[in-house]
Amino acid sequence: MTIERAVSPAQRAIQVLGDDLTETTLKRYLEGIPGIDAVGLEQRAAGLGTRSIKTTSKAWALDKIIELIDLTTLEGADTPGKVRSLVAKALLPDPSDLSTPRVAAVCVYGDMVPYAVEALGAAHSAGTDEGVNVAAVATAFPSGRASLAVKLADTSDAVAAGADEIDMVIDRGAFLSGRFGQVFDEIVAVKEACRRADGSFAHLKVILETGELNTYDNVRRASWLAILAGGDFIKTSTGKVAPAATLPVTLSMLEVVRDWHRLTGEKIGVKPAGGIRSSKDAIKYVVTVAETVGEEWLQPHLFRFGASSLLNDVLLQRQKMKTGHYSGADYVTID
């Protein structure tokens, strides 16, 4: 699991910026990042999305997709019982085929974390690299409209309850107003709130809410900002705003991660979330990851799908490949 990095976010930012960390230098750096050729980006994404894969590769890809899913329920009507059902599906996605892999994590609201941890039992990763993680959304998800004190309490409460990962939202109003230092400081503070008693940290996924950022250039700047501030993952969306994840947006974020790795040697994760419902679409993302940052990123600590209905479609496709025919939609559970 994540431990404290060799340098603090502020020190890392100074190394990258080549100057003192101030609002002015941060703004100058982020606004100096080259703009994105929107047409070129969308053409690259479309080209990657049309790649075909062989049947043997498809079987591998379907299993890989399952292993990369954050199985999610984020509804106001969520109950402990619904979370227990979600965990049961995470542990045994297809009871008729025990070779089906488990998902990477379950993702719930902070107050549901204790129920997820309890339901996972010995299968909970609990700060190790084995088992299923519990991810919690925090920082006044999905709007992010709360005081910093509330956001930090939201985060620390979820970590104390056993969350292995925190999915935070940035203040999009501050970002779009050019208050990059405020966004940076908030991410740093939330990262510190992810610290456990033993000094290790819960993984921090930083949700950009790309549907509200309006341009690919803003997505690129927000990605750099989140990484500079110490995010372990950059995540497209809450799933509550349209558009959510798109292939061009995810490609632009993967390119930032690629460039960051070339610059620092550090690997940052990417999580597209919202709107990815079919295995066909998910395979496009798998191909895009492999072609942009390499197959080594196709691991749960470096790439995730935030999804609820995607798993069912993948299970139906797996059954089709094994039996030669499609099962009915009622073959898989709704939760």
Q: Are residues 50 and 41 in contact, defined by beta-carbon separation less than 8 angstroms?
A: no
The residue from 64, 205, 271, 284 that is catalytic is 271
The residue from 167, 171, 232, 313 that is catalytic is 167
What region, left, alpha or beta, does residue 130 occupy, with left being phi > 0 and alpha being psi -120 to 50 degrees?
Answer: beta
Strand locations in the chain (E): 69-72, 105-109, 133-137, 165-169, 203-207, 233-235, 269-271, 305-307
What separation in angstroms does the CA of 77 have from each of 73, 101, 109?
10, 28, 11
Question: How far apart, in Å, do the first and last CA atoms of the chain sit?
Answer: 28
Element (H, E) at 174: helix 172-176
- What is the spatial distance between Cα 75 and Cα 87, in angstroms, rounded to a whole number? 16
The residue from 185, 235, 284, 313 that is catalytic is 235
Residue 284 a catalytic site member: no
Residue 191 a catalytic site member: no
User: β-pairing, 69-72 with 269-271?
Assistant: unpaired
What separation in angstroms does the CA of 113 have from each of 118, 129, 159, 162, 295?
9, 19, 9, 7, 31
Give the alpha-carbon dihedral of 98, 72, 286, 184, to 10 degrees. Answer: -140
Residue 240 a catalytic site member: no
What residues have CB less than 8 Å from 310, skipping those under 6 apart? Answer: 65, 69, 276, 277, 278, 279, 282
Fill in the DSSP letter of residue 283: H
- What is the spatial distance between Cα 30 and Cα 329, in angstroms, rounded to a whole number? 47
Other Cβ atoms less than 10 A from the Cβ of 81: the count is 11
Catalytic residues: 167, 235, 271
